[in-house]
Amino acid sequence: MRLPRLARRSVARLMAVAMIAGVLTGVGAAADAKVVWSSEFRGSNGTVYTATNHLVSAAYGRGRQWLLAWAGPAAQPAPDFLAVIDATPGSSSYGKVVNTVTVGPNMGNEPHHLQYVWHKGDHIYAGGIISDTTFVFDTKALPSLRLVGVNVPTDTPCGTLPDAYHVLKDGTAYGTYMGGPDVTGPCTYTNGEVRVGNGAAGSPGEIVRIAPDGRTLAEIPAATAEGEDPEQCGNIPALPAASCANPHGLAVREDLNIMVVSDFAEARNFLTPDAPLQANLARQTVRVFDITDRNDPVLKSVTKVSDGPRGPQEKEAFFRESRVVMEVATTNKPGHKGAFVSSMAGGAVFYTPDVTAATPKWREVLDDTAAYRKMDPRSTLTGGGDNSSWLAVSPDDRYLFHTVMGQSIPYGAPLDVTSGMLYVLDIRKLLASGNRPKCSVDQLHEVYRGGSEHDCPELVGVVPIRDTSPGGPHWGTMDIFDRDRNGIYRETDQVKRIAAANYFVNGSFGGGGDHRVCMFDLGKGGRVTTDNSFRDENTGRPCVSFNRASWPHGDFGDSQPHGVMFAVSDSVLR
């Protein structure tokens, strides 16, 4: 819903005043000088939502590159916020939080994901996984942000737990809603189809297409009408048609009219410390949709990844290679139709050469155990239960990037032994093999050394991310921008930096993390190293710590960053 004209004029006037004040405070002002201004949006439920900017003097000056981090407080009550961090190498305020954009009136959203990458002109879609709310921000005035849309729980009655987003070229976005409908029972989707669900945070989840002003354009069923394998697709309570449809990861190829989503777990029976590890809640499935009709995608296939050679060694079936398929990443270049998925509990990466096929065939191409051995040949850590997370293919289809949180309670590894990591695979040979790849991790020695076939991905870079809390680096993002000597930015397919956040979700086992956001440089041949110049403004240590007493918006203490994303000021982006 658009603001009344008078309100829009007031916001615009306030922005202008803030910008002028910002220029003034940026010259000879005290370090803590702030400019505060707000925007409003009335949701379909009648609630007026706000986004309040708190810009410090370091926010002003020549256009720069920013790292956005969507965060919530470690202790309630306190507002959730988008932190805007100076991510311009060489800047005197590199690593400084220059703005916090607090949202209200609701607190406790549990800020989760933003879209995977941002392009010039895109709005930001930011999800509150617990509040079942999506906030939409305009980025034209970065480092300031303006609230332009809110999607509230009553806008998506057939789904809960918004997770991942992908922004289409027309500015709309697809979002995965991992949990079941608001109310137990039948739910009717936009296309008239009906599925029966077992309630919020249960099953089945859905896909939602969201307009740039936050409106729901379509609720799209992720579950099949006839149901799925009841032995593998456990539901609590049971459904009349069993479903593994709990979509988490999301990737779209608009040129192929394809959307790929990976299924996670029935979350309310998974993300609780005392919940039993039921293998039939650990999803193994991947769904592919034809999105020719953007508002009525057609489910083309539901396929499974399989356990590998490490599986029989796992005491818990929950930790076999195929379990909890958290993330998906497609290739990008014309002529490439492949896709990758990774398993959170299983700690493995799988590949299909043609995701458009009627029945995509998945093969394991790396076990995280091999990355642990490359990081430390003496390591005893394995992929089983290692919380592997974010996955992305570089725009030039050369590299696959992957973050791993690390084994933790109750997985058995002592916290002073376990480690998170970021690793890089060179996937060019695998993609060059076309529709007949040979690579397959199907022998035990390949678990530790990597696949032995000639076209298997090459593990070219790995960096440990030490974290002695029960958590680690969960989410990441690629820097897809390049700056010339005149300070002008353009998109590039050559990724040079990656950022990652050390936090999963509050209250989950193995999910706390130490609340840092770290920067990594990608060097020649895929070598990855920590950017030690990206330092916390308070501690002086590498990585930006979200454990601090004060923020630009006040003394609210430690906070928990989840979704991260690079963006650039509009004035210097071409």
pLDDT in tens, 18-50: 433 333 233 223 345 689 999 999 999 999 999
- Give the Cα separation of 508 and 273 in Å (integer): 6
Helix or strand holding residue 519 (H, E): strand 516-522
Q: What would the mean pLDDT of 149-163 be, rounded to a whole number?
A: 98
Using one digit for the tens of pLDDT, what is the confidence trace for 208-242? 999 999 999 999 999 999 999 999 999 999 999 99
pLDDT reading at 13 higher than 60:
no
CB atoms under 10 Å from CB of 525, counted, come to 10
Question: What pLDDT is attached to residue 210?
Answer: 98
Which of residues 102 and 13 earns the better pLDDT score? 102
* CA nearest neighbour of 189 among 210, 176, 208: 208
pLDDT reading at 2 higher than 50:
no
Contacts 24+ apart (CB under 8 A), 409-418: 409/470, 409/509, 409/510, 410/509, 410/510, 411/319, 411/384, 411/385, 411/386, 411/510, 412/385, 413/381, 415/468, 415/469, 415/470, 416/468, 417/380, 417/381, 418/381, 418/472
Question: What pLDDT is attached to residue 542?
Answer: 97
Helix or strand holding residue 23 (H, E): helix 5-25
Question: What pLDDT is attached to residue 23?
Answer: 33
pLDDT reading at 9 higher than 50:
no
* CA nearest neighbour of 244 among 226, 263, 260: 263
Question: What pLDDT is attached to residue 370?
Answer: 98
Q: How confident is the model at residue 266 (pLDDT cuts 50, 70, 90)?
A: very high
Using one digit for the tens of pLDDT, what is the confidence trace for 128-140? 999 999 999 999 9
Let me know: does 127 contact 146? Beta carbons within 8 Å: no
* Average pLDDT in the chain: 91
Question: What pLDDT is attached to residue 201?
Answer: 96
Let me know: does 251 contact 259? Beta carbons within 8 Å: yes
Question: What pLDDT is attached to residue 30?
Answer: 34
Strand residue runs (E) in 57-140 = 65-73, 81-86, 97-104, 124-128, 133-138
The residues, ordered by sequence, that sit 6+ positions from 62 with a Cβ below 8 Å of its Cβ are 487, 572
Range name among 192-201, 278-287, 367-376, 510-519 with the lowest pLDDT average: 510-519
Q: What would the mean pLDDT of 410-416 be, rounded to a whole number?
A: 66
Question: What pLDDT is attached to residue 413?
Answer: 67
Q: What is the pTM of this model?
A: 0.93
Using one digit for the tens of pLDDT, what is the confidence trace for 53-86? 999 999 998 889 999 999 999 988 999 999 999 9
- Give the Cα separation of 40 and 42 in Å (integer): 7
* CA nearest neighbour of 388 among 513, 466, 474, 267: 474
Using one digit for the tens of pLDDT, what is the confidence trace for 381-405? 999 999 999 999 999 999 999 999 9
pLDDT reading at 446 higher than 70:
yes
Q: How confident is the model at residue 14 (pLDDT cuts 50, 70, 90)?
A: very low
Domain boundaries, the chain: 1-151+474-501+529-574, 180-304, 305-470
Q: How confident is the model at residue 175 (pLDDT cuts 50, 70, 90)?
A: very high
- Give the Cα separation of 341 and 479 in Å (integer): 21
Percent of the chain with pLDDT over 70: 91
The DSSP call for residue 165 is E
Q: What would the mean pLDDT of 144-162 be, rounded to a whole number?
A: 98
Q: How confident is the model at residue 506 (pLDDT cuts 50, 70, 90)?
A: confident
